[in-house]
Amino acid sequence: MIEFEYSELTPSERALQAEVREFLDRVLPPGSYHPALGFQAEKDPEFSRKLGAQGYLGMSLPKQYGGHERSAVDRFVVTEELLRRGAPVGHHWVADRQSGPVIAKFGTEAQKQRFIPGIAAGELSFCIGMSEPDSGSDLASVATKATRDGDGWVLEGRKIWTTFAHLNDWAIVLCRSTPVAELTDKRQGMSQFIVDLTSPGLTATPIPFIDGTSDFCEVELDHVFVPDELVLGSIGQGWAQNTSELAYERGGPDRWLSSYTLLAELLRLHEQQPLPDRIADVLGEALANYWVLHSLSLSVARSIDSGGAPAVESSLVKEMGTRFEQDVVTAVNAVVDEAPNMADTSTFSRLLISATLTNPSFTIRGGTNEVLRSVAAKGLQPSGGKR
Amino acid sequence: MSAFAADELVAETVDRLLLDLCSPDVVEHAEAEGWVPDLWHAFSESGFPWVSLPDTAGGSGGTLGDAAAILHAIGRYAAPVPVAETGMLAGWLLAGAGLAIPGGPATVAVGLSLEGARLVGDATVAWAARSERIVALVQDGATWKVASVPASAVSITRGANLAGEPRDLVRFEVASGAFDLAAAADGVDADALLQRGALSRVVMSAGALRAMTQITVDYTNERKQFGKTIAGFQAVQQFLVNTAQCSVRVNMAAERATRALAAGEPGITIAAAKVLTDAAVAEGTRAAHQAHGAMGVTREYPLHQLSRRLWAWRHEYGTASMWRRRLGTAAHRAGAEGLFQLVTG
Ligand SMILES: Cc1cc2nc3c(=O)[nH]c(=O)nc-3n(C[C@H](O)[C@H](O)[C@H](O)COP(=O)(O)OP(=O)(O)OC[C@H]3O[C@@H](n4cnc5c(N)ncnc54)[C@H](O)[C@@H]3O)c2cc1C
């Protein structure tokens, strides 16, 4: 049965939380930036560098490479604070959340020395190179081909929805290195490569997003050479490595805080006046859900720290957390008297418009809810009559 | 640490007791008869109804977490015993006021008043006809007082909630001298009682939702259609995951709220837990029933013992809409910058 062990922040984790709050109040006072919707946030390399200097990035990574060897719960505390403020985390987000940890786990000594310091400093930015035009949920069907060539590999194919590929430094790209025809299981014969986004033959073209922004890209890999020293982990082990990378993507506060800033702004609009019942109801319902999702997400982080592999639990949280994020957008829209107008640039209006237009993506990015339910269902097994 | 920070031994013993004595047949029988003497006797022998009340006041000792672990088990097995009423509610009022805790079941009544020295009013009271004492919290001027009334001193009309658990209609016209009256403990007022009552329902619901998830998983792994177990269908897996999510949310909420109350700082926790329970009951029972097909809606299969209780308990100790509005007001008081502090606590 699925178990979420109850957990609370320890005094030292509370102290970290207070420290992060104090730091962010100082470097990111309300009014000094445009709050984002969770991790769908602007790139602000300068802000990322400040976080890095403060020790808030690469928190779980080894100290010898510039990381901090802190716990998953410490990282949880920091990301919660960043996301609830809608901080501009876009530049370092993927590198800090997943690329750094997978390089620390599977990378060579040289790769760790080369990449981890920059990730922990908030300087290097990474992309996720998984999805392809014909491979979305069925990732094992990726067709981007890696072919042996001298002291390296040549990549040929097309990636899509690659967030910030036109601006970032690196991407971890999942490829097919042995043709499916030679295998018994298509999950074999896959490999991951660390690809320089300025490589000759690589073209990243932004794709317009539903709200008119353009952060995700189509990436064409036309005979892109990757030297052996940039193979991540083992050739042929790409599927297992990629699955472990996905685990970092799920279950965290980024999967339930995406519309928090919208709700907080709704509250701000009513701060100096009596609270209408219908607004109280929206705030109350949302508060109850944030309150419990915080505890569930904390429980997942604690389980990681004690050596668990809470893949099922993470999927369960992400699946309901993202639905809740959408419910908040629906609920706020239901109590707004004036139709959103694109000319209104107030923070609330900007967030409402963006959240309304982009919230369908909450339950798609990082694995669709349907796929997550299949993963979670594996954790629900018969009990033999025990209650 | 075990759930609710409860004593492992207490949790295991109550689980074994219920496994032995509280089969679905027993629950069914209780509904017809209104009472299972053996089950109450076993609880009473082990002292479970009075867990969390101090030994010095005639309780069984132990923590609020221990009491919650017992209520959780009662929720899992749909056990027809007035344990929440006897200990966590009536017993708590009595012990705080220095009044005697009876040897048999006790229960609580709200909404009564003192007219002169008489206790008057009408109330729906859980398990009234089975209780030795009915305990009321009444206002006397500016102070709160606890009245302990022998059940024989009131007139009781039998009633029941949706799950067939006794919810009797009681008329109080009790003369002074026919009941005991003492000042309530510090901090005990109508709201404190409401919060405790709500927490008891949240914890029992958490147990019922967990059991409901498990029996739904079990059933869908046995039932075959189209040549395979229905748990193999993605559409059915969705119901399982949905039920599990409802259970997980309420269980986490129940535990966090129990610990907060035990630490004397309930804050928004019980309100949040009650709101979450209401939504989870609606969503979870819908998914579990759908996954069972017709089997779920017969009295011959035990799903209804859980779903009917969940539907009944959500009405007790404040509606979700009342608690939700309270939370909204708390959010307003905290303001946009302070809101997240309520989330993290
Ligand atoms: C904003 C945004 C940013 C993204 N950024 C990146 C990125 O940086 N890098 C990257 O690699 N990818 C990125 N993605 C892509 C994302 O990972 C995919 O969209 C996702 O994995 C789903 O794939 P798909 O869009 O091809 O949908 P499909 O797989 O085609 O799914 C369409 C529908 O079919 C359902 N479906 C498919 N298979 C099954 C099944 N077996 N059972 C039941 N239902 C099924 C899905 O659940 C969905 O409802 C991003 C996506 C978004 C929206």
Residues A37 and A112 grouped into a single domain: yes
A173 lies in some domain: yes
Give the range of the structural domain holding residue A207, as residue numbers without chain letter: 128-237
| Digit-coded pLDDT (tens) for B163-204 | 999 999 999 999 999 999 999 999 999 999 999 999 999 999
CB pairs under 8 A between A and B: 162
Considering chain B, what is the average pLDDT of its residues? 97
Please give the average per-residue pLDDT across A54-68, as a whole number. Answer: 97
pLDDT score recorded for residue A2? 82
pLDDT in tens, B7-18: 999 999 999 999
The answer to whether residue A199 scores a pLDDT higher than 60 is: yes
The number of distinct structural domains making up chain A is 3
Burial A338-358 (b: 16+ CB within 10 A, else e): eebeeeeeebbbbbbbbbbbb
Average model confidence (pLDDT) across chain A? 96
Assigned domain for A246 exists: no
For A150-190, what is each residue's pLDDT tens digit?
A: 999 999 999 999 999 999 999 999 999 999 999 999 999 99
Same domain, A155 and A213: yes
Residue pair A312/A2 in contact (Cβ under 8 Å)? The answer is yes
- Determine whether the interchain pair A387/B214 forms a contact, defined as Cβ–Cβ distance below 8 Å: yes
Residues A117 and A152 in one domain: no
**Whether residue A269 is found in the same domain as residue A157:** no
Q: Is the CB of A322 under 6 A from ligand 1?
A: no
List of residues 6+ apart from B334 with CB closer than 8 A: B341, B342
State which of A97, A130, A161, A325 you would mutate to test the pocket of ligand 1, scoring each by most atoms of that ligand within 8 A of its C-beta: A161
End-of-domain residue from the set A188, A207, A237: A237
| Comparison of pLDDT for A66 and B1, the residue scoring more | A66
Look at residues A213, A237, A261 and tell me which one is the last residue of a structural domain: A237
Residue A242 lies in a domain: no
Does residue A4 form part of some domain? no
Do both A46 and A98 map to the same domain?
A: yes
Question: pLDDT tens across B245-297, in order?
Answer: 999 999 999 999 999 999 999 999 999 999 999 999 999 999 999 999 999 99
Residue A1 inside a domain? The answer is: no
Contact A373 B238 (CB under 8 A): yes
Q: Is residue A221 located within the same domain as residue A142? A: yes
**Contact at 8 Å (CB) between A193 and A226?**
yes
A300 & A354 share domain: yes
Q: Do A268 and B210 touch (CB under 8 A)?
A: no
Is residue B1 scored above 70 in pLDDT? no
Q: What average pLDDT does range A234-248 have in this prediction?
A: 89
pLDDT digits (tens, 9 = 90+) for A271-306: 999 999 999 999 999 999 999 999 999 999 999 999
Alpha helices in chain B (DSSP H): 8-21, 24-33, 37-46, 64-77, 83, 92-97, 190-222, 234-262, 269-292, 303-313, 320-344
Q: Residue A385: what pLDDT?
A: 77
- Whether residue A385 lies inside any domain: the answer is no
Q: Judge if A115 and A137 occupy the same domain.
A: no
What pLDDT digit, counting tens, does each position of A67-109 carry? 999 999 999 999 999 999 999 999 999 999 999 999 999 999 9
First-residue to last-residue Cα distance in chain B: 21
pLDDT in tens, B140-166: 999 999 999 999 999 999 999 999 999
Task: Please check whether residues A174 and A289 belong to one and the same domain.
Answer: no
- Chain B interface test: which of A380, A381, A386 (most B C-beta within 10 Å): A380
> B127 with B85: CB under 8 angstroms?
yes
As for the ipTM of the complex, it is 0.97
Q: A281, B234: Cβ pair inside 8 Å?
A: no
CATH of the domain at A359: 1.20.140.10
The ligand 1 atom nearest the CA atom of A165: 8
Q: What is the C-alpha radius of gyration for chain B, rounded to an integer number of angstroms?
A: 20
Q: Which atom of ligand 1 is nearest the CA belonging to A370?
A: 47
Residue B34 has what pLDDT? 82
User: Which residues have CB under 8 Å from B21's CB, separation 6+?
Assistant: B36, B38, B39, B42
The answer to whether residues A264 and A370 belong to one domain is: yes
Looking at residue B231, what DSSP letter applies?
G
Chain A positions touching B249 (Cβ under 8 A) are 292, 296, 320
Segment B93-100 shows an average pLDDT of 98
Parallel, antiparallel, or unpaired for β B118-126 and B133-140?
Answer: unpaired
Cβ contact B61:B51 at 8 Å: yes
Same domain, A119 and A35: yes
Asked if residue A254 has pLDDT above 60, the reply is yes
Residue A248 has pLDDT above 80, yes or no: no
The one-letter amino acid at B37:
P
Distance CA B191, CA A179 (A): 68
Closest Cα partner for A261 from B332, B343, B336, B344?
B336
What pTM value is reported for the model? 0.97
- Nearest CA to A281 out of B152, B318, B214, B320 is that of B320
Same-domain check for residues A203 and A272: no
**How far A38 CA sits from the closest chain B CA (Å)?**
14
> Which domain-ending residue is among A180, A202, A237?
A237
Q: How far apart are CA B121 and CA B118, in angstroms?
A: 10
Residue A116 included in any domain: yes
Residue A386: what pLDDT? 81
Is A244 inside any structural domain? no
